[in-house]
């Protein structure tokens, strides 16, 4: 059974109020934070309900699910954020509907996304887990990789994205991203954005300077399958 819209509205309001509390604690302005509602595994109808409740930024992590949703909802004024691992061969297709790509982590992907014309906004994903295959570049690759992104046509580097590793202290993890961001800004002063914080750790992320939260289940409720 899909959730009743009123439950959705309650969860959305509750997350918004927690965001406001964390901002107050951090002395930050909530309007400087973009909340991306991650709707992976959720039907297009849920995106429509959230849109009706004023949400405009939506996140998806798989091209094969995102593309039909984007097509079905074409005409609604909204911004798609691609937050999952992205294969180079899908990159051009994702670029057609996604305004922001949060998971740039390979040179082949830079090449595949690079194009003349309207730039696409990107975050470089930083791996905090130290485990290969989790997505993200290693900390010691940051400068080299950033130079590569900055030199590519059609990519506008917004900043860094990261996922706090399971079991790690979220606040400490996000502090590492903030430190890496200072190094990035030495090369790219405009690239100040920080995409970090999910349902379980967005408060900590706000305290460490997150500008883009990627929140799924705390707002949508449990994912129907597999997510
Ligand atoms: C699923 C996902 C999220 C949202 O996760 P929740 O725990 O449901 O908030 C955020 N970021 C990425 C990269 C994801 O894949």
Q: What pLDDT, in 10s, does the model give residues 62-79?
A: 999 999 999 999 999 999
| Backbone phi and psi for residue 169, each to the nearest 5 degrees, phi listed first | -70, 115
**Residue 135 banded pLDDT, cuts 50, 70, 90:** very high
**Residue 1 banded pLDDT, cuts 50, 70, 90:** low
**Residue 5 banded pLDDT, cuts 50, 70, 90:** low
What pLDDT is attached to residue 105? 97
**Residue 221 banded pLDDT, cuts 50, 70, 90:** very high
What average pLDDT does the segment 84-109 reach?
Answer: 96
DSSP letter at 10 equals H
Residue minimizing CA distance to atom 5 of ligand 1:
216
Ligand 1 centroid to residue 163 C-alpha, Å: 8
Residues 6+ away with beta carbon under 8 Å from 216: 37, 38, 39, 40, 59, 198, 199, 223, 227
Structural tokens at position 25: 């604690």
Residue minimizing CA distance to atom 4 of ligand 1:
216
* Residue given tokens 């940051």 in the structure block: 142
What average pLDDT does the segment 27-37 reach?
Answer: 98
What average pLDDT does the segment 49-72 reach?
Answer: 98
What pLDDT is attached to residue 2? 57
Residues with CB under 6 A from ligand 1: 38, 40, 61, 83-84, 163, 198-200, 214-218
Residues 6+ away with beta carbon under 8 Å from 93: 63, 67
* Residue given tokens 């906004």 in the structure block: 121
Residue minimizing CA distance to atom 8 of ligand 1:
216
Structural tokens at position 210: 């997150």
Q: Find the range with the poorest average confidence among 3-17, 91-105, 156-170.
A: 3-17
The percentage of residues in the chain with a pLDDT greater than 70, rounded to a whole number, is 96
Residue minimizing CA distance to atom 12 of ligand 1:
83
**Residue 30 banded pLDDT, cuts 50, 70, 90:** very high
Provide the mean pLDDT of the chain: 95
What pLDDT is attached to residue 90? 96
* Residue given tokens 């996604």 in the structure block: 98
What average pLDDT does the segment 25-45 reach?
Answer: 97
Q: At what angle do helices 142-150 and 170-187 cross, to 10 degrees?
A: 50
Q: Does residue 146 carry a pLDDT above 80?
A: yes
What pLDDT is attached to residue 136? 97
The whole-angstrom separation of Cα 218 and Cα 200 is 8
Q: Does residue 29 carry a pLDDT above 90?
A: yes
Q: Does residue 52 carry a pLDDT above 60?
A: yes
What pLDDT is attached to residue 132? 81
Residue minimizing CA distance to atom 11 of ligand 1:
214
Ligand 1 centroid to residue 116 C-alpha, Å: 31
């Amino acid at each position: 059974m899909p959730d009743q819209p009123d439950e959705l509205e309650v969860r959305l309001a509750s997350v918004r109020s927690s965001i406001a509390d964390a901002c107050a604690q951090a002395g930050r302005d909530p309007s400087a934070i973009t909340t991306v509602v991650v709707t992976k595994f959720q039907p297009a109808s849920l995106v429509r309900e959230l849109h009706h409740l004023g949400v405009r930024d939506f996140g998806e992590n798989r091209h094969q699910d995102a593309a039909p949703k984007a097509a079905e909802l074409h005409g609604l004024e909204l911004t798609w954020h691609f937050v999952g691992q992205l294969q180079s061969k899908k990159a051009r297709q994702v670029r057609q509907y996604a305004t922001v790509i949060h998971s740039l982590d390979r040179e082949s992907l830079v090449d595949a996304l690079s194009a003349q014309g309207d730039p696409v906004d990107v975050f470089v994903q930083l791996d905090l887990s130290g485990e290969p295959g989790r997505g993200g570049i290693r900390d010691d690759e940051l400068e080299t990789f950033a130079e590569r992104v900055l030199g590519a046509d059609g990519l506008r580097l917004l900043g860094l994205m990261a996922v706090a590793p399971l079991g790690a202290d979220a606040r400490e993890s996000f502090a590492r991203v903030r430190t890496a961001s200072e190094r990035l800004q030495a090369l790219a002063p405009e690239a100040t954005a920080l995409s970090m914080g999910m349902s379980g750790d967005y408060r900590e992320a706000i305290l460490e300077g997150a500008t883009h939260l990627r929140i799924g289940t705390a707002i949508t409720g449990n994912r129907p399958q597999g997510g």
